[in-house]
Amino acid sequence: MKQDQLLKLGLYGTAIGDALGQGYLQCKHDSLDMYKGIYHTPAGTWSDDTSISLVFMDNLLQNNDYHMIMDSLINWHQYGLYTPYYKAFDVGQSTKDAINLYQDDRQHYWENIKEMLSDQDNGNGALMYMLPISIILNDQNDNDNQSSKLKIFQRVIQLSQLTKHSYRSTLACLIYFNLLTLIINSKNYSNNYLQQAVNNAFKLIHNYNLTTLINEQNYFEPLLTASFYQKTLSQLSASGYVIDTLFCVWNILHQTTKFNNAINLAVNLNGDVDTIAGLIGGIIAIINRNIPQQWLNKLQGKNVLNFYLNKTN
């Protein structure tokens, strides 16, 4: 499937999952539908998770450097670009901190952000923009060229750390990137990909002797055990902690790849359900190569999504 088609599926799937999750942040409903959220936006409105995905897609397609990506994040956060109604909301604290740090000292941002790497900042925000990164970088990858593979590996690490100050989050992004890569490059999804993606990421960090990431490996090793996949979602936490988010996504994908069933599982968790539903929506739309029309009809901001997606043609 072509890059523009994958991006459309992935971004619309993300936006639908995000919008559905918004209506379940502080209350539950008897049936799956789009409801008004806690930010007083119309039903079907997507949030920061989708907006950040659009920012990265837009900039990567133009081969922009990190300065231009950060400038776009400022335009989103302050002026509401990349949003349905020109107003950013539900913005994560780490993202705000990164934007403020960049505005304080643009010239030395990359050095400063590295100094902020911390075990305490293990949020899930960077996972959201792995989907467009995976699609675009896989389109550029020459599978027979080791140099090409290394450059993409390095690029994923750099981008994952652009707004997140955590090696744990970086490894989570590498694992998620590897899962998306397997799905993008195959016609038929297999649950074997869930463990294969983890093993592929572990192999990469050991091949390049990335000690800081190897030290985080034990947090993800449950994903390689049979007992993990026997757990119910009620046994998992749906907090904004990156490990919790990744575990919920893996568990849901192991249970089902039917769009509505998977989203229903995600939104009925207790926690960061819009982010988890956004991740699930994007990845399952690509797995199925389809998005249910019922949600497209109810989704807000399709004009904004289409504006940026049309740049891919």
Residue stretches of the annotated binding site for Mg(2+) = 47-49, 272, 274-275
State phi, psi for 299 to the nearest 5 degrees: -75, 135
C-beta of residue 169 within 8 angstroms of C-beta of residue 160: yes
Q: Which helix (H) or strand (E) holds 263?
A: helix 259-267
C-beta of residue 257 within 8 angstroms of C-beta of residue 287: yes
C-beta of residue 51 within 8 angstroms of C-beta of residue 88: yes
Burial 156-187 (b: 16+ CB within 10 A, else e): bbebbbbbbbbbbbbbbbbbbbbbbbbbbeee
Give the angle 25-122-161 at the CA atoms, nearest 5°: 115
* CA 22 vs CA 28, 220, 272, 274, 287: distances in Å: 11, 28, 9, 5, 23
Q: In this structure, what token pair is assigned to residue 262?
A: 């998977």
What DSSP character marks residue 238? B
Question: Binding site: which residues?
Answer: 47-49, 272, 274-275
